[in-house]
Amino acid sequence: MVKGAIFDMDGLMFDTERLWDTLWAPCCGKLGLPLPPPEFLAAGRGLAGDNLKRHLAKFYPQIDPEVMLQEVWRLADERFSQGVPCKPGLRELLDWLRDHNIPCIVASSSPRNMIEMNLKNTGVDGYFKGVVCGADVEHSKPEPDIFLLAARQLGLDARDCLVLEDSFNGVRAGRAAGAVTVMVPDMAQPDEEMRSLYTCCCHDLLEVRDLLEEGKL
Protein backbone atom coordinates (compact mmCIF):
# COMPACT_ATOMS: atom_id res chain seq x y z
CA MET A 1 0.00 0.00 0.00
CA VAL A 2 1.11 3.56 -0.69
CA LYS A 3 2.43 5.57 2.25
CA GLY A 4 1.56 9.06 1.04
CA ALA A 5 -0.70 10.82 -1.47
CA ILE A 6 0.27 13.74 -3.71
CA PHE A 7 -2.60 15.69 -5.24
CA ASP A 8 -2.54 17.92 -8.29
CA MET A 9 -5.12 20.71 -7.99
CA ASP A 10 -6.66 22.14 -11.18
CA GLY A 11 -8.87 19.59 -12.89
CA LEU A 12 -8.10 16.94 -10.26
CA MET A 13 -9.34 18.32 -6.94
CA PHE A 14 -11.37 21.21 -8.27
CA ASP A 15 -13.32 21.75 -11.49
CA THR A 16 -11.19 24.77 -12.42
CA GLU A 17 -9.76 23.93 -15.85
CA ARG A 18 -13.00 25.10 -17.45
CA LEU A 19 -12.82 28.28 -15.39
CA TRP A 20 -9.26 28.93 -16.54
CA ASP A 21 -10.42 28.63 -20.16
CA THR A 22 -12.91 31.48 -19.61
CA LEU A 23 -10.20 33.86 -18.34
CA TRP A 24 -8.01 34.12 -21.42
CA ALA A 25 -10.53 36.08 -23.51
CA PRO A 26 -10.94 38.89 -20.93
CA CYS A 27 -7.19 38.82 -20.36
CA CYS A 28 -6.57 39.40 -24.07
CA GLY A 29 -9.29 42.04 -24.19
CA LYS A 30 -7.70 43.93 -21.31
CA LEU A 31 -4.31 43.85 -23.04
CA GLY A 32 -5.64 44.73 -26.50
CA LEU A 33 -4.79 41.32 -27.97
CA PRO A 34 -6.78 39.14 -30.40
CA LEU A 35 -9.06 36.58 -28.81
CA PRO A 36 -7.37 33.19 -28.28
CA PRO A 37 -8.16 30.50 -30.85
CA PRO A 38 -9.43 27.09 -29.66
CA GLU A 39 -6.03 25.49 -30.23
CA PHE A 40 -4.52 28.00 -27.80
CA LEU A 41 -6.71 26.67 -24.99
CA ALA A 42 -6.28 22.99 -25.81
CA ALA A 43 -2.51 23.17 -26.18
CA GLY A 44 -2.06 25.27 -23.05
CA ARG A 45 -3.77 23.02 -20.51
CA GLY A 46 -1.37 21.49 -18.03
CA LEU A 47 1.45 23.88 -18.91
CA ALA A 48 3.30 25.97 -16.34
CA GLY A 49 6.53 27.86 -15.83
CA ASP A 50 8.76 28.25 -18.87
CA ASN A 51 6.62 25.81 -20.85
CA LEU A 52 3.60 28.08 -20.44
CA LYS A 53 5.63 31.18 -21.28
CA ARG A 54 6.83 29.55 -24.51
CA HIS A 55 3.21 28.68 -25.32
CA LEU A 56 2.12 32.29 -24.81
CA ALA A 57 5.04 33.60 -26.86
CA LYS A 58 4.10 31.30 -29.73
CA PHE A 59 0.55 32.65 -29.99
CA TYR A 60 1.23 36.21 -28.81
CA PRO A 61 4.78 37.16 -29.83
CA GLN A 62 3.88 40.86 -29.63
CA ILE A 63 3.76 40.91 -25.81
CA ASP A 64 5.89 39.80 -22.88
CA PRO A 65 4.43 36.48 -21.63
CA GLU A 66 4.93 37.65 -18.05
CA VAL A 67 2.48 40.51 -18.65
CA MET A 68 -0.17 38.05 -19.82
CA LEU A 69 0.46 35.78 -16.86
CA GLN A 70 0.13 38.59 -14.34
CA GLU A 71 -3.19 39.64 -15.87
CA VAL A 72 -4.68 36.17 -16.08
CA TRP A 73 -3.60 35.44 -12.50
CA ARG A 74 -5.28 38.67 -11.39
CA LEU A 75 -8.49 37.60 -13.10
CA ALA A 76 -8.18 34.13 -11.58
CA ASP A 77 -7.80 35.57 -8.09
CA GLU A 78 -11.03 37.51 -8.58
CA ARG A 79 -12.95 34.54 -9.96
CA PHE A 80 -11.62 31.85 -7.64
CA SER A 81 -12.18 33.98 -4.54
CA GLN A 82 -15.89 33.39 -5.19
CA GLY A 83 -15.35 29.66 -4.65
CA VAL A 84 -14.58 26.71 -6.87
CA PRO A 85 -16.47 23.41 -7.26
CA CYS A 86 -14.88 20.23 -5.89
CA LYS A 87 -14.53 17.23 -8.15
CA PRO A 88 -16.69 14.20 -7.29
CA GLY A 89 -15.25 12.03 -4.54
CA LEU A 90 -12.67 14.51 -3.25
CA ARG A 91 -13.87 14.63 0.34
CA GLU A 92 -14.60 10.91 0.44
CA LEU A 93 -11.08 10.12 -0.71
CA LEU A 94 -9.53 12.59 1.71
CA ASP A 95 -11.56 11.12 4.57
CA TRP A 96 -10.37 7.62 3.69
CA LEU A 97 -6.74 8.69 3.54
CA ARG A 98 -7.02 10.50 6.88
CA ASP A 99 -8.73 7.52 8.50
CA HIS A 100 -5.88 5.26 7.31
CA ASN A 101 -3.15 7.67 8.44
CA ILE A 102 -1.86 8.31 4.93
CA PRO A 103 -0.49 11.87 4.75
CA CYS A 104 -1.48 14.10 1.85
CA ILE A 105 0.18 17.06 0.15
CA VAL A 106 -0.75 19.30 -2.80
CA ALA A 107 1.73 19.64 -5.69
CA SER A 108 0.37 22.14 -8.20
CA SER A 109 1.96 24.45 -10.75
CA SER A 110 -0.47 27.22 -9.76
CA PRO A 111 0.68 30.13 -7.58
CA ARG A 112 0.82 29.33 -3.86
CA ASN A 113 -1.71 31.98 -2.86
CA MET A 114 -4.23 30.53 -5.33
CA ILE A 115 -3.71 26.98 -4.08
CA GLU A 116 -4.12 28.02 -0.45
CA MET A 117 -7.19 30.12 -1.27
CA ASN A 118 -8.91 27.22 -3.02
CA LEU A 119 -8.09 24.80 -0.20
CA LYS A 120 -9.40 27.20 2.42
CA ASN A 121 -12.54 28.24 0.53
CA THR A 122 -13.55 24.61 -0.04
CA GLY A 123 -12.77 23.63 3.55
CA VAL A 124 -10.25 20.89 2.69
CA ASP A 125 -7.08 22.67 3.82
CA GLY A 126 -6.96 20.70 7.06
CA TYR A 127 -6.42 17.43 5.21
CA PHE A 128 -3.03 18.42 3.81
CA LYS A 129 0.40 18.44 5.41
CA GLY A 130 1.64 21.10 3.03
CA VAL A 131 1.68 22.68 -0.40
CA VAL A 132 4.31 22.64 -3.14
CA CYS A 133 3.79 25.18 -5.93
CA GLY A 134 5.41 25.81 -9.27
CA ALA A 135 7.65 28.54 -7.88
CA ASP A 136 9.25 26.03 -5.48
CA VAL A 137 11.00 24.05 -8.22
CA GLU A 138 13.29 24.86 -11.11
CA HIS A 139 11.59 22.68 -13.71
CA SER A 140 7.83 22.38 -14.18
CA LYS A 141 5.87 19.30 -15.25
CA PRO A 142 6.53 17.07 -17.22
CA GLU A 143 9.77 17.10 -15.23
CA PRO A 144 9.38 15.25 -11.91
CA ASP A 145 10.78 18.01 -9.66
CA ILE A 146 7.51 19.05 -8.02
CA PHE A 147 6.55 15.49 -7.08
CA LEU A 148 10.01 14.62 -5.82
CA LEU A 149 9.94 17.69 -3.58
CA ALA A 150 6.43 16.88 -2.36
CA ALA A 151 7.51 13.35 -1.44
CA ARG A 152 10.52 14.70 0.45
CA GLN A 153 8.27 17.06 2.39
CA LEU A 154 6.20 14.05 3.43
CA GLY A 155 9.42 12.30 4.46
CA LEU A 156 8.85 9.58 1.89
CA ASP A 157 10.42 8.12 -1.21
CA ALA A 158 8.40 9.07 -4.30
CA ARG A 159 8.10 5.35 -5.10
CA ASP A 160 5.97 4.98 -1.98
CA CYS A 161 3.65 7.82 -2.97
CA LEU A 162 0.44 7.94 -4.94
CA VAL A 163 0.35 10.78 -7.48
CA LEU A 164 -3.11 11.83 -8.63
CA GLU A 165 -3.22 13.75 -11.89
CA ASP A 166 -5.60 14.73 -14.68
CA SER A 167 -3.18 16.22 -17.22
CA PHE A 168 -0.79 14.60 -19.66
CA ASN A 169 2.19 16.52 -18.34
CA GLY A 170 1.21 15.59 -14.80
CA VAL A 171 1.13 11.90 -15.66
CA ARG A 172 4.50 12.23 -17.37
CA ALA A 173 5.92 13.90 -14.27
CA GLY A 174 4.47 11.28 -11.92
CA ARG A 175 5.93 8.46 -13.95
CA ALA A 176 9.31 10.22 -14.15
CA ALA A 177 9.28 10.56 -10.35
CA GLY A 178 8.76 6.82 -10.00
CA ALA A 179 5.46 7.27 -8.15
CA VAL A 180 2.33 5.18 -8.33
CA THR A 181 0.60 7.41 -10.87
CA VAL A 182 -3.16 7.43 -11.31
CA MET A 183 -4.83 9.50 -13.98
CA VAL A 184 -8.31 10.88 -13.32
CA PRO A 185 -9.09 12.52 -16.69
CA ASP A 186 -10.77 15.89 -16.81
CA MET A 187 -10.80 17.67 -20.18
CA ALA A 188 -8.42 15.33 -22.01
CA GLN A 189 -8.90 11.58 -22.24
CA PRO A 190 -5.84 9.31 -22.11
CA ASP A 191 -4.13 8.29 -25.32
CA GLU A 192 -1.74 5.44 -26.02
CA GLU A 193 1.18 7.31 -24.48
CA MET A 194 -0.72 7.95 -21.24
CA ARG A 195 -1.81 4.33 -21.01
CA SER A 196 1.84 3.31 -21.23
CA LEU A 197 2.79 5.65 -18.38
CA TYR A 198 0.15 5.58 -15.68
CA THR A 199 -0.44 2.83 -13.14
CA CYS A 200 -4.17 2.99 -13.78
CA CYS A 201 -6.92 5.35 -14.89
CA CYS A 202 -9.98 6.11 -12.74
CA HIS A 203 -13.29 7.68 -13.67
CA ASP A 204 -13.30 9.84 -10.53
CA LEU A 205 -11.79 10.13 -7.07
CA LEU A 206 -14.38 7.78 -5.61
CA GLU A 207 -12.93 5.03 -7.78
CA VAL A 208 -9.47 5.89 -6.46
CA ARG A 209 -10.78 5.44 -2.91
CA ASP A 210 -12.35 2.12 -3.81
CA LEU A 211 -9.12 0.79 -5.32
CA LEU A 212 -7.23 1.81 -2.19
CA GLU A 213 -9.84 0.12 -0.02
CA GLU A 214 -9.49 -3.05 -2.08
CA GLY A 215 -5.70 -2.96 -1.79
CA LYS A 216 -5.21 -2.54 -5.53
CA LEU A 217 -3.06 0.59 -5.22
Q: Which residues are catalytic?
A: 8, 10
3-state secondary structure the chain: CCCEEEECCECCCECCHHHHHHHHHHHHHHHCCCCCCHHHHHHHCCCCHHHHHHHHHHHCCCCCHHHHHHHHHHHHHHHHCCCCCECCCHHHHHHHHHHCCCCEEEEECCCHHHHHHHHHHHCCHHHEEEEEEHHHCCCCCCCCHHHHHHHHHHCCCHHHEEEEECCHHHHHHHHHHCCEEEECCCCCCCCHHHHHHCCEECCCHHHHHHHHHCCCC
